[in-house]
Chains A and B, each alone.
Chain A
Amino acid sequence: MDRGLYLAASGMLAEQVRQDQIANDLANASTPGYKADRTAQSAFGELMLSNRVTGQQVGSQSTAVQVDEIETDFSPQPARETGEPLDFAIVGEGFFAVQTDGGTRYTRNGQFTANAEGLLVTAQGDPVLGPGGQTIRVGAGGQVDPRRLGVVTLNNPRKDGDSLVAGTPGGGTRGQVRAGALETSGADAARSMVDMIASLRAFEAGQRVIQTIDESLGKAANTVGTLNG
């Protein structure tokens, strides 16, 4: 009987992780090139239950649920015109390559600027790389031909913070770079709100299960066996 208590508690913990993920999506509803996450949870440690008298199997029961993965939806989002010459968006698949202190990273957040050496850099100051891995010089009039920016497709991209993505370059069709535009955030406010409400209610249901089991245990402990119960 007390197995249900742990089962309900593990479900509540999983919902907490989901809420944290949704809060991050909502906080990034305006971040250019942001990619939305999705929390996947699964049951683990299934037990086969059997009738104690006859030995007949009555089915399986999960011992807990856990969040086993947070998946990122890397599909391209529509671009939005900004009119700034150093804003870039990739129409289609792929990432801009960026030279960071920790090695080459990738990003779809194309809000770039120029540094004192006249190089195209991210807002964090990391140089943006061209197709051959070279740095890009900002031309006269503060413009950069979008064709000079490299686009890299990635195998197993993984978010690395600061709008950067880690991964290994792969094949496939690459998108076109457009100047004067930014990719909109992939966080969908409506879906996030619905997920948030659903998750909240699932969390609440977990609480009710614990309370109900607690009540039954209370009855077992206090009522069963009393003469006037």
Chain B
Amino acid sequence: MLEGLNSAAAGMAAQQQRLDATANDLANANTNGYKRMRVGFRDLVYTQAGRPAADGVRIGAGSAAIDAGRGFSQGTARETGEPLDVAIQGDGFLRVRTPDGGVGLTRDGALQVDGNRRVTTASGALLQPPLTIPESVSLEDVKIDADGTVRAGEQRLGRIEVVNVRAPQGLQSIGDNLFAPTATSGQPTGAPAATKLVQGSLEGSNVNVSDAMVGMIEAQRSFELASRAIKTADQMMEIANGVKR
């Protein structure tokens, strides 16, 4: 009786998931290289209903949220003037070694040097392939070309490699602004030639705050609507109980 109760509850759970994703997006509206979440919805199975169950009478079981990965559109670049800040223009990621030794990909180009003058991300993950700025070279003299070549005057220090995966939507977010490649995303390979590095600027978050706010309002109202269906189903059961006084 009253499958609608469950359908509406499924709809509320789906909206809750979207709200969680939107909250995460808003919290990261100022995170360098953050990519917004893509949450989708689908309807659920349709089964015959009514008494007697007729072929044309099929009722759905509500909705579910689906994780469609991330939206990888370019975030707006911001000038910082810092010599080790790089913004990636186009597709691709910087490759780093995660603290547990795995492969991490990031678009957060706020690089720095650690105590051993090795180049790391802001969270301390080492750049791969490793790049060391010698003690003799001042960071202000470091020049990073569009193709990633790192120079100090005439001296070539190394190269920042930009890699890409075949299906970025399949990347797994592992925190600290890092993504890990998965079987769905494919392994990292060289980035397309069109991808450029821009020294002295950082890529901002691609979250559009006004879109996120509108999405949040929509999620809240849809949640409310589904809750009304639950309330009505409850009232109907109360009425059914009142048949026998």
Cα separation A164 to B186 with both chains bound (whole Å): 27
B16 CB to nearest A CB, Å: 12
**Which residues of chain B come closer than 8 Å to A113, judged between CB atoms?**
38, 68-69, 167, 169-170
How many residues on A have C-beta within 8 angstroms of the other chain's C-beta atoms? 63
- Would A123 and B11 count as touching, CB distance under 8 A? no
Q: Which residues of A contact B127 (CB under 8 A)?
A: none
- Chain B residues in 8 Å Cβ range of A19: 2, 4, 229, 232-233, 236
Q: Does A111 interact with chain B (Cβ within 8 Å)?
A: yes
A138, B168: Cα distance in complex, Å: 12
Question: Do A141 and B15 touch (CB < 8 A)?
Answer: no
B49 proximal to A (CB < 8 A): yes
CA distance A142 to B91 in the complex (A): 9
Min CB distance A220 to B, Å, is 17
**Bound: A138/B167 CA distance, A:** 9
Contact partners of B229 in chain A: CB under 8 A: 19, 22-23, 26-27, 196
Q: Which of A19, A21, A115, A160 has the most CB of B within 10 A?
A: A19
Chain A residues within an 8 Å CB radius of B3:
20, 23
How many A-B contacts are there with CB distance less than 8 Å?
211
* CB pair A159 B60 closer than 8 Å: yes
Q: Give the number of residues in B that approach A within 8 Å (Cβ atoms).
A: 73
Contacts of B1-57 to chain A: CB distance below 8 A: 1-5, 7-8, 10-12, 14-15, 18, 38, 40-46, 49-52, 54, 56-57
Contact of B225 among A12, A66, A192 (CB under 8 A): A192
Closest to A210 in B: B243
A159 touches B43 (CB 8 A): yes
Min CB gap B197→A, angstroms = 17
Q: Are B40 and A23 neighbours in the complex by a CB distance under 8 Å?
A: no
What are some 25 contacts across the A-B interface (CB < 8 A)? A14-B50, A17-B57, A20-B3, A21-B4, A23-B62, A23-B230, A29-B11, A29-B222, A30-B15, A34-B43, A67-B50, A67-B54, A84-B38, A111-B66, A113-B68, A115-B167, A116-B167, A118-B167, A138-B167, A141-B90, A141-B91, A142-B168, A159-B46, A161-B43, A161-B60
B interface residues with partner A (beta carbon < 8 Å): 1-5, 7-8, 10-12, 14-15, 18, 38, 40-46, 49-52, 54, 56-63, 66-69, 71-73, 90-91, 166-170, 183-186, 192, 194, 208, 218-219, 221-222, 225-226, 228-230, 232-233, 235-236, 239-240, 242-243, 245
The 4 closest A-B pairs by CB, nearest first: A27-B11, A23-B4, A69-B56, A27-B62
